[in-house]
Amino acid sequence: MINYGMNGKVALVTGAGGGIGRATALAFAHSGASVLVSDVNATGGAETVTMIEAAGGKALFQACDVSQGDQVKAMVAKAVEAFGRLDYAFNNAGINNMGANEYDDDVWAKSLGVNLTGVMLCMREESEVMMAQGGGAIVNTSSINGLVGNPAQPGYTATKHGVVGLTRHGALRWAKAGIRVNAVCPGVIETPMTAPLAANEEMRKLLDSMTPMGRMGQADEIANAVVWLCSDAASFVTGHPLVIDGGATVF
Ligand SMILES: NC(=O)c1ccc[n+]([C@@H]2O[C@H](COP(=O)([O-])OP(=O)(O)OC[C@H]3O[C@@H](n4cnc5c(N)ncnc54)[C@H](O)[C@@H]3O)[C@@H](O)[C@H]2O)c1
């Protein structure tokens, strides 16, 4: 893992109670940033904090349902209260209603609330702090389903396309304020989200075969890209939806 020299900086990660969010919270801490770990899952969030502290880093958990504006406001305020500033934000919390019918009103509304409104609410609050500070970097989690269609999941596909749109909007809106806004578009990654599918041997073979590399990606492989996008090494990168999919969308 690369150390991007983030001593004295502060990162906020949503959906950090497991999977890609946890790996990224650990990667920010490895680079020296203090991390506000956030999730609806308090147990997972507390575990992430323990892992960061065990590795010598600094972290604090704040529960937050990203679809609720008041909770998002409190989460961002907590990062500033605890650590004094906010330099990097990874808006990563998301749901994949695997197996459910996303044309059902309730399922559709939940997808929009968490995957799209959640990212908007986070960007809204984070940008206020970053503008007052004179800059920062935001990364949103989209998906390869934010760039290509998925016949099974209208809600997931639409919200993840929406995240790419919000990312491009934010990049333009805040470019002169020194805030860079990018997205990551992961392919199939081995996390708790995909675990129920991957547990089936036949399905695992299918998932592995979906990429030219012949394997699922690992959460660390997304985390490394997120920390790089936030770092000064990516100082001229903004508005970019970075595909990390082992070549799955190359065809
Ligand atoms: N795993 C993949 O193959 C894959 C591929 C492309 C994109 N993604 C995206 O990556 C992100 C992380 O997914 P993951 O694979 O690590 O899955 P995950 O289920 O392990 O992690 C998602 C986290 O978000 C949290 N969460 C759910 N609803 C929330 C809410 N309303 N408010 C706050 N937190 C909430 C969960 O508790 C969980 O800890 C998601 O946005 C997902 O859509 C995942």
| Range of the structural domain that residue 118 is part of | 10-190+219-244
The residues annotated with a catalytic role in the active site are 156
Res 251: pLDDT: 83
Higher per-residue pLDDT: 1 or 128? 128
| Residues 6 or more apart whose Cβ sits within 8 Å of residue 202 | none
Confidence of residue 27 (pLDDT cuts 50, 70, 90): very high
Average pLDDT for residues 51-70, to the nearest whole number?
A: 98
Average pLDDT, the chain: 97
In contact, 249 and 243? CB cutoff 8 Å: yes
Confidence of residue 164 (pLDDT cuts 50, 70, 90): very high
Average pLDDT for residues 106-129, to the nearest whole number?
A: 98
Kindly give the number of the ligand 1 atom that is closest to the alpha carbon of 114.
Answer: 31
Whether the full predicted model's pTM is greater than 0.95, yes or no, is: yes
pLDDT in tens, 179-205: 999 999 999 999 999 999 999 999 999
- What residues pair up with 137 in beta bridges, in sequence order? 88, 180
- Ligand 1 centroid distance, CA of 93 (Å): 5
Does 139 map to a domain?
A: yes
Does 44 map to a domain?
A: yes
Residue nearest to atom 20 of ligand 1 (CA): 19
Give the chain's domain count.
1
Does 77 map to a domain?
A: yes
Res 205: pLDDT: 96
- What residues pair up with 138 in beta bridges, in sequence order? 89, 181
Does 112 map to a domain?
A: yes
CATH (domain of 74):
3.40.50.720
- Ligand 1 centroid distance, CA of 169 (Å): 22
- Ligand 1 centroid distance, CA of 176 (Å): 31
Res 128: pLDDT: 98
Res 188: pLDDT: 96
Does 195 map to a domain?
A: no
CA pair distance 182, 142, nearest whole angstrom: 10
Q: How far is CA 204 from CA 36, 99, 199, 218, in A?
A: 33, 16, 7, 14
Res 41: pLDDT: 98
Does 249 map to a domain?
A: no
Confidence of residue 228 (pLDDT cuts 50, 70, 90): very high
pLDDT over threshold 90, residue 76: yes
Residue nearest to atom 41 of ligand 1 (CA): 94
Does 250 map to a domain?
A: no
CA pair distance 57, 110, nearest whole angstrom: 34
Tokens describing residue 209: 């075969």
Res 74: pLDDT: 98
Does 214 map to a domain?
A: no
Average pLDDT for residues 124-144, to the nearest whole number?
A: 98
Confidence of residue 1 (pLDDT cuts 50, 70, 90): confident
The preferred substitution site among 36, 153, 166, 191 for testing ligand 1, maximizing ligand atoms within 8 Å of CB, is 191
